[in-house]
Structure formats: C-alpha cells, structure tokens
Amino acid sequence: MIAGAQLPCDIAVVGLGIAGVHHLTKEVEETIRRCTKTFVADTGTGMLEYLGGLGTEVVDLTQPREVGEHRILIYRRIAAEVVAAAKAGGPVCFATYGHPTMYCYPTTLIQRAALVLNLSVTVLPGVSFLDTLLCDLGVDPGFDGLQMYEASDLVVRRRPLQADVPCVITQAPMTLDAYNRRGSRALDNLRLLQRHLLGTYPADHEVLLVTSKPHPLLEPLIQPVPLGSLAAALLPATQLGTLFIPALHRREIADRELAARMQILDGPRTARVTSGAPPSRPGRPPIGPQPA
C-alpha cells in the first residue's frame, strides 16, 4: 500500500489478532492509517491507544451494552453504526479481535448492508483463535483432519461427531446463552453440551479447555478435564476459552494399495516402519521413536 493513497473501498473489515498489537499485520495497520474512523471491538491492552496513534478516529465498541439484551440485536447496532459512518464519509474501518470472518457476525451484517447500499467492502485477515490454539497444543490437522463446531449450534442441531478426528468446539462456556447477561451461567445448558459429547466419547476421555495468551508476556491457559466433569469446569471458564477434544483413535487405512503407493504409515503415530518407509539420505542416523 502507498501511504496517503485512497483506499479502494468504503469499508475495511480487519482482524487485530489475539495477542494485542503484537499480532497486528502491516497490511491491517496501513489500512487503518488510511481510514477516517475505526470502530474497534478488542479489549487488548493498549490497543485503542495504539490505533489512535495511527491517525484515525477510534470508536470503542467494547463499552458495556444493555444487560439482558439478545446479542444479535447488539451486533445489528454495531453493523448499522459502521455502515452509517461509511455513508456519511468513508472510508471507515471495523477492526475486531482475532480474525474478522471467524465467528464474527457483525462482519456478515456489514457485508449484507453494504451490498444493498452499494458500498464496497474489503476484508483483511488476522491471527485467529484457531491459529493460536494449534500452536498452543502442537496440533497439525494434516495428520487426522479437524472438525470444528460452535457449541450452541452443535447441541441444537445434534450434529454428529467423528471420534477419530480431533474436534474444536468454540464458545463452549456460552452454550445456549444468547443474551448479554452478567452473573453465573446456567449449569443445565452446559450439561446439555456434555450429554451430547458423551454420545460419542467416554466419560473418562480427557478434553482440554484452552485460552490463548492475550499478551506475549503471558502463557496460554490449558486445563485438562475428564469429559464427565466438563459442565462443572465450564461454569467458571472465560468466554474466550475454546474446547479441544483429542481423537479417541486413528482411522484405519481402507485402501492398502493406495496407501502403499503413497508410502503412508499405518498404525500408531509412534510406531516406526522398518520396511517400505520413505527414502532418506545415506548415512543419516535414525531419528524418532525406535521399535521395542
């Protein structure tokens, strides 16, 4: 981007990442510099002050909203405020925590309204909770895949789960809670999530409640919990916590001929194959787990 150049859009929707200003990308920062006003949905330390220093007028969207109001109505007002500002004199920016299309409904509402009002929208990515979670747990979806669901949607639609694929469940502490409320959560709602998961996994299966670090000097919070005690563990959990369910087992190879052609290793990931293994450089010492 060229400093001072006009943005090719009326509204820029950007992601601010998870760990405060340390996750801001150059692309997002330059975009914000070229906006007249930036609406910010992020509580990271120093974020509002930093963005204000980029020369844009900052509007804080994290101020307390009406207690007891349905979240959809809150999101609609946020989108309406952004779109109205764009009509009055853009370009404007909606900057949100994490990634702007990862469980961020105001982004969808802004795009829909802009289409009707003939406004152009550019969406720029940010570091999401899924990116940091994979790093926090050392998980590579390339081995066994990954399934991901929103907790309330999972329960309401009774979505089936695959026990041989790791699972990410978002907003688990807020299961079936559509309103902006203070105080304790409804244990019965959390038990409905637990009951649904127990239809696929045993009660002693260990799951993880993960909250990625919001600042580089902090550490992620990783709490192992037996699935049979999940509801009680979710009661005091932070709203930003994500539930990770490891696979119960690995899916067996169904087509041996294709597996042999691709030299895919069978059995547990810790097993070392002594024949038919991928080629290695001559003289290189063996690494990894050795056969018993």
Q: Span 92-108, mean pLDDT?
A: 96
Sequence spans of domains, the chain? 11-127, 130-245
Q: Do domains 11-127 and 130-245 have the same CATH topology?
A: no
Q: What is residue 289's predicted lDDT score, i.e. its pLDDT?
A: 62
Residues near 91 by beta carbon (within 8 Å), at least 6 away in sequence:
6, 7, 9, 10, 11, 12, 34, 35, 36
Using the structure block, give the residue that is written with the tokens 């260990």.
206
- Nearest alpha-carbon partner for 83 in 104, 65, 109: 109
Q: What is residue 269's predicted lDDT score, i.e. its pLDDT?
A: 47
Q: Which residue did the predictor score with more confidence, 291 or 25?
A: 25
CATH class for the region spanning 130-245: alpha beta
pLDDT for 270 beyond 80 = no
Rounded Cα distance between 212 and 225, Å, is: 17
pLDDT (tens digit per residue) in 21-61: 999 999 999 999 999 999 999 988 899 999 999 999 999 99
- Nearest alpha-carbon partner for 22 in 206, 217, 193: 217
Record the tokens describing residue 152, joined without a space: 């309330």
Q: Is CATH 3.90.1150.10 correct for 11-127?
A: no
| Bridge partners (DSSP) listed for residue 122 | 12
pLDDT for 271 beyond 80 = no
Confidence of residue 275 (pLDDT cuts 50, 70, 90): very low
Q: What is residue 183's predicted lDDT score, i.e. its pLDDT?
A: 57
- Cis? peptide before 226, omega within 30° of 0: no
Q: What is residue 4's predicted lDDT score, i.e. its pLDDT?
A: 44
Record the tokens describing residue 18, joined without a space: 């998870």
pLDDT (tens digit per residue) in 185-230: 789 999 999 999 999 999 999 999 999 998 888 999 999 999 999 9
SS (H, E, C) the chain: CCCCCCCCCCEEEEECECCHHHHCCHHHHHHHHCCCEEEEECCCCCHHHHHHCCCCEEEECCCCCCCCCEHHHHHHHHHHHHHHHHHHHCCEEEEECECCCCCCHHHHHHHHHHHHCCCCEEEECCCCHHHHHHHHHCCCHHHHCCEEEEHHHHHHCCCCCCCCCCEEEECHHHCCCCECCCCCCCHHHHHHHHHHHHCCCCCCCEEEEEECCCCCCCCCEEEEEEHHHHHHHHCCCCCCCEEEECCCCCCCCCCHHHHHHHCCCCCCCCCCCCCCCCCCCCCCCCCCCCCC
pLDDT for 81 beyond 80 = yes
Q: What is residue 217's predicted lDDT score, i.e. its pLDDT?
A: 87
Rounded Cα distance between 88 and 182, Å, is: 35
Q: Span 77-85, mean pLDDT?
A: 96
